Amino acid sequence: MGEQLPVISLFSGAGGLDLAVERADADLLAPADEGSGLLRVAVATDYDDQALDTLRDNFDRAATLSGDIRTIATDQILGTAGLRPSEPVLVVGGPPCTPFSKSGFWLEQKRESRDPNASLLDEYVRVVRESRPEAFVLENVQGLTYSTHKHQFERLLRSLGELGYNPQWKVLLAADYGVPQLRRRVFVVGRRDGQRFEFPEPTHSGRSERDRTIDTTKIPHVTAGEAFRGLPASLRVTEDEIVDGRYGELAAEVPPGQNYLWHTDRYGGRNEFEWRSRYWTFLLRLDPARPSTTLQAQPGPWVGPFHWENIRTNDGLERARRLRVSEMLRLMSFPDNFRIAGSRADVQRQLGNAVPLELGKAVIKALMTQLGYVNEHAPVLIASG
């Protein structure tokens, strides 16, 4: 095998894109297969030390750099990776999505797109400009493409275009690429040679909140029930898994695939809520026959998705339960042995902000194929740096 191609990872978080980089040439839905080693993460950066602990636990060959990207020079990033400008084959990363997500959208400064963290997009452009990778992959929440953030998004595309990278963007549904989750993310991809990047065609098809037509020529969406297959059926219930408190009893009565609307006058539960008076995820239960809804990073105490099966507390009460770490890993198509630092809530925060592995793999493999490093019909290394 030739020398692995180096990649710079910005805003690395739990390492979803980093996993996709190092397994980009692996087969679809084969998380145990680490690929042929085409790419390697040369340096991973983040301001969250806990996320860097996660990265160090899982990427022992990658150097890490801690700090605010706004205060870290590109030369320092390159130096930590042992690289010079134009040597990185890729720059990848997802600037923190809080400014562009629906969460906290009630804040006036977010509605008006004045969140200061939006400037992190400019920092991403700065690293691309100064490190001159062969290509880049930027991902974010779909909200970045909304009209509310039109100014920031257009400035991002214009800035990358002025560097000659001809950026292309598209919102992709994770379930369409083998991830058991109805999660939409926007990807922006560009090539230094200015050639147009073509996004990968979906491999899977199924019903989503927007799509009612199913392409029968494709693989059916992976369901939550299929994703959890093989996990231990009975584990000791921990206190932080129990959905209790004010709405604990109501949550336990919600059937699989339903939410708080079950407890309105239109369904079979109690008439406790007004129709469409809450967010869709309030008291939401997974449906084992469908992919999960988006795994949220920082949900409130009664925000799902919760597991479809109830548990009994030590007092004999029937309650819904939150997802376990092993289940969240499966919903993100991460390998079972992936280690994440911190408590269960810390794990959900890191995974909820991450890129699902199979979705990232699809994009990066398509890019490496179009750059000529991967044979489209035989995913093996055919060139090296």
Which residues are the active-site residues?
97
Cα dist. 362→58, 187, 190, 313 in Å?
21, 11, 15, 42
Token readout for 17 is: 């894109």
Angle, in degrees to the nearest 10, between helices 120-131 and 150-162: 10
DSSP tag of 199: P
DSSP tag of 76: H
Angle, in degrees to the nearest 10, between helices 49-58 and 344-352: 80
Give every CB contact of residue 265 below 8 A, 6+ residues apart in sequence.
271, 275
Q: Which of 294, 270, 302 is nearest to 356 (CA)?
A: 294
Cα dist. 240→153, 217, 301, 344 in Å?
38, 42, 10, 8
Task: Please report which residue ranges of the chain form alpha helices under DSSP H.
Answer: 16-22, 49-58, 74-81, 108-111, 120-131, 150-162, 224-227, 248-253, 325-331, 344-352, 357-370
Written as one letter, the residue type at 239 is E
Assign 3-class secondary structure to 126-165: HHHHHHCCCEEEEEEEHHHHCHHHHHHHHHHHHHHHHCCC
User: How many CA within 13 A on the CB side of residue 98?
Assistant: 14
